[in-house]
Structure 1
Amino acid sequence: MGHQMPMDDSSAAAMCSMNMSFNMETKNLCVLFDFWRINTTGELLGSVFLIALLCVGFEKFKQYLRIYQRRLIKSSSSSLNDSDKLSINNTDKLIRTGLYCTNILYSFIIMLIFMTYNGYLIFSILLGSGIGYYLFNSEVIDDKTIACH
């Protein structure tokens, strides 16, 4: 028994295929939105490229976050109080909060693409993440474990 959502013939063309197990489907596959539908080999290759690029961009964004954090630490280290906690001004807090929320949004978008359970899209996530990690993470000690955010 398959794990696809049941559809009657009249709605099959309008609805995206939604697998609940790993698959290699290349027809009627929606990625995130109904308008991002894969039906041809060209659309699949384009989507694989875009998703890999998205993941490379995510690794670049995480590099920017690390650089921004270091800058905050460096500029705030002179204002250490008795409890040895860094204090930052409200503007920097707002910027930091916005970057954190963007990081979460970015990671959840990648997670939702992974949850299509499509092997080609999963491969593109792994490929893009690997390339991005290689290009933008030159630190020996990585303080983050693998997680959505």
Structure 2
Amino acid sequence: MDHTDHSHTHPTTTTTTGHDHGVGDTGGHGDTGGHGGMAMTFYFGCSDVKLLFTGLVINTPGEMVGACIGVFLLAVLYEGLKIGREILLRRSQVNVRYNSMPLPGADGTMLMETHKTVGQRMLSPAHFLQTFLHIIQVVVSYVLMLVFMTYNAYLCIAVAAGAGMGYFLFSWQKAVVVDITEHCH
């Protein structure tokens, strides 16, 4: 059979998957690198900025200011949660034990050094509260990470500034108090 007179045309098949891979369309946000329209470089912009959810899109400078304030406060909350959990842990520590350990002295004598060991009960209300607060802290940290991954410079600055403000406001409470009467620091 002779196939020389047959024209070989292939129909174009169009499939719709519901995913735009952003090839050739940067949406004004810099290089997407084919990652679903998501910017892969930092940019300053206030229009068509998708923030965490499909329906949460920033389109005006006023919306960006509001989003930055919200992100700033969320970052402050994250730092407050970290320090607050440490303070609660210190307050709820129980099972204080003193362990003595012999140590050789400088002149060949034996000295006894005492170490204080503290713990917490697993099934205590304080531990359940710590667990709940830890879950909130993890969720907030991932939300802040996802906000930073928008690569929107305004939002990234809000995350960093909020973390800095939260550290400034709360870290002074983290100071370790050293008892000068203890031998081991």
Task: Select which of 99, 111, 115 maps to 2:145.
Answer: 111
Correspondences of 1:36-75 after superposition (within 5 Å): 36-73=56-93
Report percent identity of matched pairs: 29
Higher strand share: 2
Matched residue SS, 1:32? coil
Matched residue SS, 1:48? helix
**Structure-2 separation of matches of 1:47 and 1:26:** 10
Higher helix share: 1
Task: Select which of 133, 136, 142 maps to 1:99.
Answer: 133
**Structure-1 separation of matches of 2:55 and 2:49:** 10
| TM-score when normalising by structure 1 | 0.74
Q: Deviations over 1:44-102 (max 9, x none)?
A: 111111110111111122221111111122xx044x498x4624141333222222111
Per chain length, whose mean CA-contact separation is higher, i.e. which structure has more relative contact order (CA < 8 Å, sep 6+)? Answer: 1
| TM-score when normalising by structure 2 | 0.61
Whether contact under 8 Å (1:59, 1:136) holds in the other structure is yes
**Structure-1 separation of matches of 2:164 and 2:23:** 37
Say which one has the larger Rg. Answer: 2
Correspondences of 1:24-39 after superposition (within 5 Å): 24-39=44-59
**Pairwise CA RMSD of aligned residues?**
2.8
Unaligned runs of 5+ in 2: 1-19, 28-35, 100-116, 177-185
Structure 1 stretches (4+) deviating beyond 6 angstroms? Answer: none
